[in-house]
Amino acid sequence: MFVFDTLTHRLKRGCETMAYPKGPAPALPDRHGGTLKVDASQCADGCKACVPVCPTQAITRANGETVALDLGRCIFCAACVEVCPSKAITQTGDHRMAVRRREDLLLGRTGAEELRLGTALEEKLRQLFGRSLRLRQVSAGGCNACEADTNVLGTIGWDLSRFGIQFVASPRHADGLLITGPVTKGMELALKKTWDAVPTPKIVIAVGACAIAGGPFVGHREVNDGAASVVPVDLYIPGCPPHPLTILDGLLRLLGRLDERPVPV
C-alpha cells in the first residue's frame, strides 16, 4: 500500500526537473544581481569611492585612469555598485560568467567592459567528454558554499546527470577536476596528487572566487591564491558562491552543449 501511495504521489507531481537549457533559464533570486558590467565612460574624474569598499581588492584605479574590476577576485557583495555615484559599475542580472582564460575576467581599464564568455573545448576533447564527463570534486580549503551549490546540481530539480556529467569518488575514474577553495598550503600536495592520478587527457574547472584568485583569503600566507598556481585551469566560474545556474552554464558551455539565447536584463 505504501509503495502504491508513493507512486501515485509522484505521478501527480509530474516532472520536476527544469527544462533549461531547452527552455528558459530559472530566474536568479533578487539578492543575486548577476554579473557586473563596467562602463568606463561613466567613471567620474578622480573618483575612487569603489576602491576602498572592495573587501578583496578586486577594484583598482590609478590616478588619471579609469576603474578596473577583476571578476575573478570579486565576491559580488555589490558594495561598489552601491557607492558608485556615476553608476559606472552595475549589475546585469546575467547568470553567465564562465570564461576559458583568466584575463577574460578583467573588466574596465585592463580589459573589456563586459565578459568574454568561454568557448567550448577543442573538437578532439569535445568528442571525448561531450557526452560523458566524469569529474572529481576537490575542496581545497573552501567554506563549503561553492561545494553546496555544486551539490545542488545533482538534485531532481537540476539533474546534472541528464547531460552525461557526473561526480566520481576516485580521480582515477575521472576526466578532470572541479576545484573549490583557495588551495591552502595544507591541500596543495593533495591537489597535486589528485591531478596526477587523473588519466590524460584531463581538464580542470575552478569554481568560485577562492579557487580563481583566493577570494576573501587573497594574499594570505597559508593559501596559494587559487588553483592555477598548482594545476592548469581550463574553465573559470566566478562567484562567491556561484549560483548553480552559473556553474551549469559553465559546464555546458565547456562541452559545447548550449544554444545561446538572449538573457533579459
For the chain, domain boundaries? 36-107, 123-254
Mean pLDDT, rounded, for 75-93: 93
Task: Give the pLDDT band (50/70/90) at residue 76.
Answer: very high
Task: Give the pLDDT band (50/70/90) at residue 130.
Answer: confident
Residue 134 · residue 173 · CB < 8 Å: yes
Task: Record the pTM.
Answer: 0.91
- Does CATH number 3.40.50.1100 belong to domain 123-254? no
User: What average pLDDT is seen over the chain?
Assistant: 90
C-alpha span between 224 and 233 (Å, rounded): 14
**Residues 36-107, CATH architecture:** 2-Layer Sandwich (3.30)
Q: Check if 36-107 and 123-254 are the same fold.
A: no
Quote the DSSP letter at residue 154.
T
pLDDT at 261 over 60: no
Contacts by 149-155, CB closer than 8 A, 24 or more apart = 149/241, 149/242, 149/243, 149/244, 149/247, 150/178, 150/180, 150/207, 150/244, 150/247, 152/244, 153/244, 153/247, 153/248
pLDDT at 73 over 70: yes
Q: Whose grid coordinates read 569603489?
A: 50
pLDDT at 152 over 80: yes
Query: pLDDT tens for residues 247-259?
Result: 999 999 999 988 6
Mean pLDDT, rounded, for 83-97: 93
Cis peptide before 21 (omega within 30 of 0): yes
C-alpha span between 116 and 102 (Å, rounded): 11
